[in-house]
Structure 1
Amino acid sequence: MPSPVSADRSSAQPPGRGSVEALITQTRRLKGDVNAVRRDTRGDGADPEERWQRALYDLALHQLDDLHAHLAQLRDGPPPPPPEPAGPSAARPAPPAPGGSLLGRVGSAEWNLLTDAVTWSGELYRILGLDPARPALTLDELPGLVAEEDRPALTAMVTDCLVDAKPIDGEFRVVRPDGAVRTVHMMGEPVLGADGGTASLWAVLRDVSELRRSQRTVCETRDSLHRHRRERTGHRIAAGPPEAVPPPRPGSLRLPHEGPAALELAAHRLPAATATLLGEDWYDALELPDGQTLLAVGGLTGQDVAADAGTATLLGAVRGMAMAGTEPGRMLALLNRLLAATAQPVLGSAVCCRYRPGTRTLLWARAGHPAPLLYRDGTGRVLDAPDTVLLGAATGTGYGQSAVTLRPGDLLLLHTDGLLPGHDRTAAADRLLGLAPRFGPAPTAQECVRAVAEEFGAAGREDDACVLVAKVTG
């Protein structure tokens, strides 16, 4: 099926064959390198850290396989259409086994709203497990294949596309006639007619079941690694040296001390509900020689002595690099090298920020840590930046950084990973964002911290958690 073009969009020119071939070569080389490193981690499977590393390598290889296949399609052009069956009794292609080629996992469809015609590619029939001799499903019939709890999301996406011309980009689970459940990612957009109305809807549907399964394995092995580290120690480590972790402040602090566009700061440590688990969370704020402000939060896991010493070492390094003018992304890369080189195994996560009061610019980066939250005009949102691997997990890792311009009255909230049981980041962020109506009228940063403490005070945490609030005063 040719790719239709919306009325307000021109067709892009295909990339040159030579440039695509070069990308294919690079991808093939990278796959070989990742596979070689993966083989080096092969063990008996009893070590939780090895299982977590292997799961990450498998996920990376899965994504590189898909990238290689996509680039090959760009080089070779669209695949030929499937042959028409010779008759009612002719053998028809069976759905491919899970994890088959990319061509068997990507299909396309077009629903014409003017003629009610429906066109599906042969691959889409295979993905959905349907007989290609039968008519393609209409938009009204499609939800019948979708898991009941996912139908409202699919209906909303299609309605928004047809009524408001919004692109479709979402996932849902399909229950095939043989009972198999597959996860499908659907991307599409309306095709506009001459009168500006929606004439048809076209979409590309991809079976992402194996990709999502690999991602779940990474999460499960990571959680298993955390549990193993905690159980191996058997007791909670003591708090770090007083000079390493700033104590909860009874009131707010203003940094820098001079200048109109300062940050009013307040922080708090929320204790764990138990005394048997492992972890060391920290936060820091520091006025720098150039008038800028360092804001940072993070956490370490490791055996008691390693985590305790690691926190002091890490915080000393953070302050030293910040005083020397090191930007957040480079700072995390150096911290990663520092932890990876320690004699005792320690993993860490962190968010490091550098606030420039002259332009009210916040430059920040993160490593395996929840992103900062920004509250403005009574609402909150999660700041967007790519996440990267934990500190100490792999040498040579780079860390990107992002910048956001703040306004007077804005509130920035940084927190560590243990606010809720199970380290549920999504649920914790949702509850923190739900405090926006309380933050708006709060006169000080300390009042906002008090609201967080009240919200999460009885959460049954497995570990300590820290929260740092910065309010732009002018």
Structure 2
Amino acid sequence: MPPHLSADRSAAQPPGRGPVDALISQTRRLKDDVDAVRRGTPADTSDPRDRWQRALYDLALHQLDDLDEHLAQLRDGPLSVPASAAPAGPDRSPATAPAPRQDALLGRVGSAEWNLLTDEASWSGELYRILDRDPATPPLTLDELPSLVHHEDRPRLTAMVTGCLVDARPIDGEFRLVRPDGSVRTVHMMGEPVLGTDGSTASMWAVLRDVSDLRRCRRAVVETRDSLHHREQDAARTEHRLTVELQEAVLPAWCGSLRLPRRGPRTLDVAARHLPSATGTATGRDWYDALELSDGTTLLSVGGLTGQGVGVASGMAMLLGAMRGMAMSGTEPGPLMTCLNRLLDATGQPALGSGLCLRYRPESRSLAWAQAGHPVPLLFRDGTGRALDTPDGVLLGVTPAAPYGQAEETLEAGDLLLLYTDGLVPGRSGTASVRRLAGLAPQFAESRTAQDCLLAVLREFGYREREDGACVLVARVAS
């Protein structure tokens, strides 16, 4: 097909061979590098991630092959049209058939021109191969071309051709072709109108490229990506369910108020709640606990680990179980925290933890407690609230030799303890959280039970949007 002239420019001349050869060499080196990495990816695997990576490598190689072949055609100049494929017109001499080439581009890129003045058409031999038509037959006119197109895509082709001929718009689109053997190929068509001296459209030229293999690779990438996404969603749902079930199995089963010890005077009225995050993410890292020990004392505890998921939930369950066991054997809060720190370090879990451990002796109303980098308990008495004096203690898991101190406090009838984990007061920490919580003192003074006090906390902080879950425990000296 001879180069066409538009109304305002002449046909572009191909670049020199030197720069194009350099680009071809770079492209082929890149192909070799990609293919070397691709060979290291399993070709037949049940893992969707491996299949997705393999499909992406295949797609990249197809695109690099096309780039290599396009550059080679640019270097070698336009391919001539076989005489059988382009009948000689009054202003056209028969073309000479090209020499056979092994270049795969010959079967994937073809060209055509439709002369509107003479109603003639000329196709390259490559276009005949793409359409699987006999080169001895005359090329189809623009009116006949839609007969080869998939019936669903014919309106698209008609709109592109009409826009080019009537409105002089360039063509750039894809449609499916149905070949004589029934196979369907995807073709990308690019073309422009060729204007005559009077400015009207004299002819239309187009380059058609068979992109079936490229689209197949892209579909493989999309399908494996979707499969991987669904698999990750299933895994996330499973992990969420297991995390919730594990946390619910470990946390105390009681609801409402609990009186500990169950026998005798000077008991604690206890109420607690776990508050999930507003996003619905199951972190499984926070705990609360209230347990009557064998010597008649009461264990109170809250805490949490960093991270989220089943692994963190299992680590939380391990720490809580170890705390219950050591407390039941009579270990005091300070030494107990020291043992928990060593345990977390020995398990090798990549997590840090914080926690409170309190032991209440009802006969003397005395409270012994220790902390590991955790928000300090608040004591409410006579309508005011304050933070308890903090003993030494760093986060669990920071260093196995960390010391943990122990503090003592004597409680009175009507006193109320508030224990909580980070995240209870959204956007606040440290002294800011203490001030906000201490402001609940008037409401606590009017409440008769620990459950009433817990509801006051929930009204203030429990129903707000929070990024992380939290636990809160209220213990009131009932008598």
Q: TM-score, normalised by structure 2?
A: 0.48
The structure whose Rg is larger is 2
